């Protein structure tokens, strides 16, 4: 299964990287899979008072099985609030109450722009993707957006084919010029090889840490732009014993997370 | 004055070719019985809308009934991309639909604006992205970017939407149309109230007095409603809180079938065209998969605490 | 992390001089325990808002704590005009408050805009009237009349409001602040969610699991709430559905007392200044009027049907 | 009590005049007192499917006692819907679903403008009144507004001191010019002496019918503008036996309506 010390698999490491971005009392908008796992690791470790919400209308759910969608039946009973889409996207997200959002996409570029609309030309796409859904407003309005991506030259891009969700757009203050709220935007890209953190001035994703077993050179080779290396670049801290215990004993005893290995997260 | 009728009657009387339809649901409570009936009756050239569309919208597109889609997202969730949606856009099968793209913030805000009689509404998303560069059938009225007259800051305005008909599925309604819902709401309340007419599909028709015991659960009042249909299991393969779970296995079967045009048509034949109504659908389900799997979808018994409105 | 505290602590910690307060209620659920405490603590230069203000606002004005009122209406209902409000405006007693006048459509829309992070909101009322000709402390930002960028029609925009603190009284909340309400809502949900901080006063604190049994009743989630206070009878002389009726007799006494400055101050002394908290208030009520009249206010027993959110 | 044939008192007649303006299936926004009485008379006679609502958030209430305010406790149990202020004022009224609204005011002028803000100068008023509340949006947005007023030269005015609620403003298409929705506005003023119906072109209130016992001359004398007389002017039809039965046996067995006699409605 895994050659990593501590016996972890890459999706577990990535989920822990996400968890560490969440502070106690943060309000976090989550989807399914990784984001939910990350947020729940945080809740069970250093951020017990973090509040999770799903865009469908749910706050602080107590699901008894892993939710397979943000509208999953298991999110209803036990939640602190079950309202509607506008309660979450309008009253909480647009009004500036959401600290952390998670996003992923078929393409992510160096400014953290995300494409979930179409690969190729919009009018005659090679692949028609689902569209924005909640991604654009989360990327526009959450204080910190964490982007999950596979680290290869197909998923990462110098420029996405279609900007569905704004990162730093074309960098250097573009968000502010467009009128997006201050102190919002992508925080980092968590890939299967590294954490790329955004330079808030230039808007570019730069290498902050490489996961155990990966090298800076390998990462540069697999990044389709001239990747800047942060001064304090270092190896990503592997999952702690406690984090792994939370994942395996509490959150995911059936190891559903291993499905991400099949999707290339190795 | 009772508005109770069959789904067949409701769709036949109140949904017309070329109509603009809001169809409620968010995994939760898709009005699938009504959607199948729309397909059976072959209503044409529809414009359809909802935030986060799923298998129901995919099916309407695959059946060739949709001309325009005001949307944010269309996917089969855990099963991946919507096959009919992709074929329509990528290959023009059965024809290429026109898509006006918004987000899960802007679209429900537009429906809210419609429900509140506002001409437009400011939203804080979409700016700086290609969602502003693509405009379809709404043209220059997709949005307007203005300088706020209050502080001069760039402000995006999106127009109100007022569908001709809204179709929603809820837990209960009375015969007059007062419709009650609990659990995940999606954009159901704003979408229904934005429409000129509402068709209410429900798990059970209850007495007016039952509505009056807990009137804060009502999301649409009778005077907006033109038809009330009792359709138990009416949201399957989606779910209704307190009634039945999502049918994940069936969702997977739809995805598998819709992978090919032939598979999709065979699916429609089996589950829609050869089926007269939701009772027959449920019977077919039980015959095909067994009563056990059907019964397993039934919700557990776990009731809330009652409250009082008395004085 | 519990936020449970006394009303005294909540007002002392979270309400400051010069604050902009939203105070919920609409005959239904005025947070009177908190209002009395604000008067006892003598918070000054307040700006207060709510659609349809009543005796509670009149009392704050009479007590001299209000500098500005963003309002639509202030009256004692069946008892007629608000005496302290009139004295303030007509005679400057204790001082003349500044009033920014809106309506029961535009003001809750402005609070909704605030709760939704919208910079402003279009409304269809107010135009053509003197409400457009009078502007107080909001000046040119009271409203803007623009030509709609969509169709060129004249459109009135009113700005979002974001109070510093909202104070609401609801039926139940948990110790984290998840607040649940049923019955007449007024502008309580939008007002509370528009504020930067919310103080929740409630009839009973319930376990988090009770909230989770019926999460669609929640109107404010914990993360917006800074204080939770259990104050049974806390809305008296207003009412709380399911708990107690409006006290019409007491309302009449307030009107009679407030007819004169002296009567108003005697009323404040008896029911506010000489009373440390709501328990003592209730005890004083029972001592003065008898347990019979107190008990008579208690709501009848008439429960709703429970519902299930299970799957 | 009453010198009228049929034994009715003037407030009963006025309530019946209001009721007759309500058609079956109309959606009616009501306050307390007269309007509630009128709407309920209609519901018990020719308009059983009329829907009544109160601005506080209530639709189709089943009060077991007369509501003393639009937020009265008795409006909660049994209603078809109990929501909030914006459900009624936004979702139903502003969105164009309300057919009939009732208004009254301290001053009403010939164009149906209403003053509930201040008598005298706004900045230094002789009497400070409550303000608009729901009146302005009802007068702006209901298809038909019915105005209840005492018929004297103090309550009726050539021009109100302060327009809180728009009637036809200054007449002749002013509502349309201001952008108020088409086909809205005051329908008639129901006074204790007459029904004045609005000419939709000029926006002026004109005499349509005089209540039994009153004359056209008396009415003109008590009207502070040059009152136009409609061609089909006639005597107001007194309450029918059925209407009185509904009022006295069903709606108001304690005859609370007689309080209006003390307020001058004679």
Q: Write out pLDDT tens, residues B237-288.
A: 999 999 999 999 999 999 999 999 999 999 999 999 999 999 999 999 999 9
Neighboring chain B residues of D51 at a CB cutoff of 8 Å: 221-223
Contact between D98 and B117 under an 8 Å Cβ cutoff? The reply is no
At residue C5, the pLDDT reads: 98
Q: Does D117 touch chain C (CB under 8 A)?
A: yes
Rounded Cα–Cα distance for residues B69 and D255 (Å):
58
Rounded Cα–Cα distance for residues D19 and D23 (Å):
9
Cα torsion through A117, A119, A124, A128, rounded to 10: -50
Give the CA distances from residue D166 to residues B297, C156, D112, D173, D184, in Å, rounded to whole numbers and listed in that order.
57, 15, 7, 12, 11
Contact between D37 and D10 under an 8 Å Cβ cutoff? The reply is no
Contact between C105 and D101 under an 8 Å Cβ cutoff? The reply is no
Residue of chain B whose alpha carbon sits nearest to that of D181: B117
At residue C294, the pLDDT reads: 97
How large a percentage of chain B has pLDDT more than 90?
98
DSSP label at residue D76: S
Q: Write out pLDDT tens, residues D97-108.
A: 999 999 998 999
Interchain contact A/B (3 or more Cβ pairs less than 8 Å)? yes
- Burial (CB < 10 A; 0-12, 13-18, 19+), residue B225, is buried
How large a percentage of chain B has pLDDT more than 70?
100
Strand ranges, E, within A42-193: 51-54, 58-59, 81-82, 100-104, 107-109, 114-115, 118-120, 125-128, 144-149, 156-157, 186-191
> Which domains are present in chain C?
1-120+161-311 (3.40.1080.10)
Provide the token pair at C148.
């709609």
Digits of tens for pLDDT over chain A (266 positions)? 444 556 899 999 999 999 999 999 999 999 888 888 999 999 999 999 999 999 999 999 999 988 999 999 999 999 999 999 999 999 999 999 999 999 998 999 999 999 999 999 999 999 999 999 999 999 999 999 999 999 999 999 999 999 999 999 999 899 999 999 999 999 999 999 999 999 999 999 999 999 999 999 999 999 999 999 999 999 999 999 999 999 999 999 989 899 999 999 99
CB-facing half-sphere around the CA of B83: CA atoms within 13 A? 18
pLDDT at C217 over 50: yes
Please judge whether C239 and B311 are an interchain contact, meaning their C-beta atoms are less than 8 angstroms apart: yes
Helix locations, chain C, DSSP H: 7-14, 32-41, 55-62, 83-86, 106-115, 188-194, 208-213, 248-258, 261-268, 278-289, 291-297
Lowest-confidence range among A253-262, B90-99, C4-13, D178-187? A253-262
Provide the token pair at A11.
């999706």
For A29, phi then psi, to 5°, come to -95, 125
- Burial (CB < 10 A; 0-12, 13-18, 19+), residue C262, is exposed
At residue D187, the pLDDT reads: 98
For B22, phi then psi, to 5°, come to -95, 130
Provide the token pair at C62.
């009479």
Neighboring chain B residues of A56 at a CB cutoff of 8 Å: 26-28, 52, 184-186
- Banded pLDDT at D5 (limits 50, 70, 90): low
pLDDT at D242 over 90: yes
Q: Write out pLDDT tens, residues B81-116.
A: 999 999 999 999 999 999 999 999 999 999 999 999
Q: Does B217 touch chain C (CB under 8 A)?
A: yes
At residue B254, the pLDDT reads: 97
Catalytically annotated residue among A55, A204, A208, A243: A55
Distance from the Cα of C80 to chain A's closest Cα (Å) equals 36
- The SS3 call for residue D190 is strand
Closest Cβ opposite residue C305 in set B153, B213, B302: B213
Contact between C114 and C161 under an 8 Å Cβ cutoff? The reply is yes
Q: What fold does the segment set D10-260 form as a domain?
A: Glutaconate Coenzyme A-transferase (3.40.1080)
For C204, phi then psi, to 5°, come to -150, 140
Rounded average pLDDT over C216-234: 98
- The SS3 call for residue C207 is coil
Rounded average pLDDT over C266-293: 98
At residue A237, the pLDDT reads: 97
Rounded Cα–Cα distance for residues B45 and B63 (Å):
11
At residue C69, the pLDDT reads: 98
Count of C–D CB contacts within 8 Å? 177
Q: Does B115 touch chain A (CB under 8 A)?
A: no
Rounded Cα–Cα distance for residues D237 and D258 (Å):
20
Show which subunits contact C, needing at least 3 CB pairs below 8 angstroms. A, B, D
At residue A7, the pLDDT reads: 86
Please judge whether A90 and C211 are an interchain contact, meaning their C-beta atoms are less than 8 angstroms apart: no
CB-facing half-sphere around the CA of D163: CA atoms within 13 A? 23
Q: Write out pLDDT tens, residues B124-172.
A: 999 999 999 999 999 999 999 999 999 999 999 999 999 999 999 999 9
Q: Does C304 touch chain A (CB under 8 A)?
A: no
D55 is a catalytic site residue: yes
Rounded Cα–Cα distance for residues A251 and A249 (Å):
6
Mutate to test the interface with A, among B56, B70, B103, B134 (most CBs of A within 10 A): B103
Q: Does B291 touch chain D (CB under 8 A)?
A: no
Helix locations, chain B, DSSP H: 7-14, 32-41, 55-62, 83-86, 106-115, 188-194, 208-213, 248-258, 261-268, 278-289, 291-297
pLDDT at D6 over 80: no
How large a percentage of chain C has pLDDT more than 70?
100
Q: Where are the domains of chain A?
A: 10-260
Please judge whether A91 and C116 are an interchain contact, meaning their C-beta atoms are less than 8 angstroms apart: yes
Hunting for tokens 């990747």 — which residue is that?
A: A227
Q: Which H, E and C letters describe A49-92, residue by residue?
A: CCEEEECCCEECCCCCCCCCCCCCHHHCCCCCEECCHHHHHHHH
At residue B26, the pLDDT reads: 86
Show which subunits contact B, needing at least 3 CB pairs below 8 angstroms. A, C, D
Provide the token pair at B84.
């009919």
Contact between D24 and D48 under an 8 Å Cβ cutoff? The reply is yes
At residue D33, the pLDDT reads: 81
Closest Cβ opposite residue C149 in set B109, B146, B246: B146
DSSP label at residue B78: G
Please judge whether C72 and D133 are an interchain contact, meaning their C-beta atoms are less than 8 angstroms apart: yes
Show which subunits contact D, needing at least 3 CB pairs below 8 angstroms. B, C
Rounded Cα–Cα distance for residues A69 and B265 (Å):
27
pLDDT at D9 over 60: yes
* Whole-number average pLDDT of chain B: 97
At residue A5, the pLDDT reads: 56
At residue D105, the pLDDT reads: 87
Closest Cβ opposite residue B302 in set C122, C183, C308: C308
Rounded Cα–Cα distance for residues A219 and A221 (Å):
5
pLDDT at D1 over 70: no
Rounded Cα–Cα distance for residues A240 and B127 (Å):
40
Provide the token pair at D129.
């009144």
Taking 3-state DSSP, the helix, strand and coil percentages for chain C, each rounded to the nearest 5, stand at 40, 25, 40
């Amino acid at each position: 299964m895994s050659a990593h010390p501590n016996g972890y698999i890459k999706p577990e490491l990535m989920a822990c990287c996400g968890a560490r971005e969440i502070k106690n009392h943060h309000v976090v908008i989550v989807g399914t899979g990784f984001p939910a796992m990350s947020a729940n690791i945080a809740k069970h470790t250093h951020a017990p008072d973090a509040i999770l919400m799903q865009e469908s209308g749910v706050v602080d759910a107590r699901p008894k099985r892993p939710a397979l969608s943000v509208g999953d039946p298991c999110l209803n009973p036990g939640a602190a609030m079950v309202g509607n889409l506008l309660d979450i996207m309008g009253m909480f997200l647009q009004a500036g109450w959401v600290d952390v959002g998670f996003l992923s996409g078929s393409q992510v570029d160096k400014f953290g722009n995300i494409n979930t609309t179409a690969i190729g030309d919009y009018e005659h796409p090679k692949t028609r993707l689902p569209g924005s859904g909640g991604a654009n407003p989360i990327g526009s309005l959450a204080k910190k957006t964490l982007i999950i991506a596979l680290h290869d030259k197909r998923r990462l891009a110098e420029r996405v084919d279609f900007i569905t969700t704004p990162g730093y757009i074309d960098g250097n203050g573009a968000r502010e010029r467009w009128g997006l709220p201050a102190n919002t935007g992508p925080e980092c890209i968590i890939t299967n090889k590294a954490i790329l953190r955004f330079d808030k001035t230039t808007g570019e994703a730069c290498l902050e840490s490489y996961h155990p077993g990966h090298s800076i050179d390998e990462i540069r080779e697999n990044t389709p732009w001239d990747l800047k290396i942060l001064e304090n670049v270092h190896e990503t801290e592997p999952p702690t014993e406690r984090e792994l215990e939370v994942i395996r004993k509490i959150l995911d005893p059936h190891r559903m997370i291993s499905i991400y290995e099949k999707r290339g997260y190795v | 004055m009772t508005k109770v009728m069959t789904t067949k009657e409701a769709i036949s009387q109140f949904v017309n070719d070329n109509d603009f339809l809001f169809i409620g649901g968010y995994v939760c409570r898709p009005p699938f019985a009504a959607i199948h009936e729309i397909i059976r009756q072959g209503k044409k050239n529809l414009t359809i809308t909802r935030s986060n569309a799923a298998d129901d919208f995919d099916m309407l597109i695959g059946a060739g009934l949709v001309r325009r889609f005001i949307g944010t997202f269309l996917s089969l969730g855990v099963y991946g991309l919507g096959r009919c949606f992709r074929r329509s856009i990528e290959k023009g099968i059965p024809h290429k639909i026109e898509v006006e793209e918004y987000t899960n913030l802007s679209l429900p805000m537009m429906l809210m604006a419609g429900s509140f009689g506002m001409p437009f509404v400011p939203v804080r998303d979409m700016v700086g992205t290609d969602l502003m560069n693509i405009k379809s059938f709404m043209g220059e009225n997709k949005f307007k970017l203005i300088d706020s007259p209050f502080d001069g800051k760039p402000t995006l305005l999106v127009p109100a939407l007022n569908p001709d008909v809204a179709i929603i599925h809820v837990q209960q309604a009375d015969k007059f149309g007062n419709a009650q819902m609990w659990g995940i709401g999606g954009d159901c309340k704003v979408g229904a109230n934005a429409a000129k007419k509402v068709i209410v599909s429900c798990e059970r028709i209850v007495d007016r007095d039952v509505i009056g015991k807990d009137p804060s659960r009502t999301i649409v009042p009778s005077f907006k409603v033109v038809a009330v249909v009792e359709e138990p299991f009416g949201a399957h393969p989606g779910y209704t809180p307190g009634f039945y779970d999502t049918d994940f296995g069936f969702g997977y079967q739809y995805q598998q079938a819709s992978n090919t045009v032939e598979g999709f048509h065979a699916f429609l034949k089996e589950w829609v065209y050869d089926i007269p109504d939701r009772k027959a659908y449920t019977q077919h389900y039980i015959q095909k998969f067994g009563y056990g799997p059907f019964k397993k979808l039934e919700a557990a018994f776990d009731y809330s605490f009652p409250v009082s409105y008395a004085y």
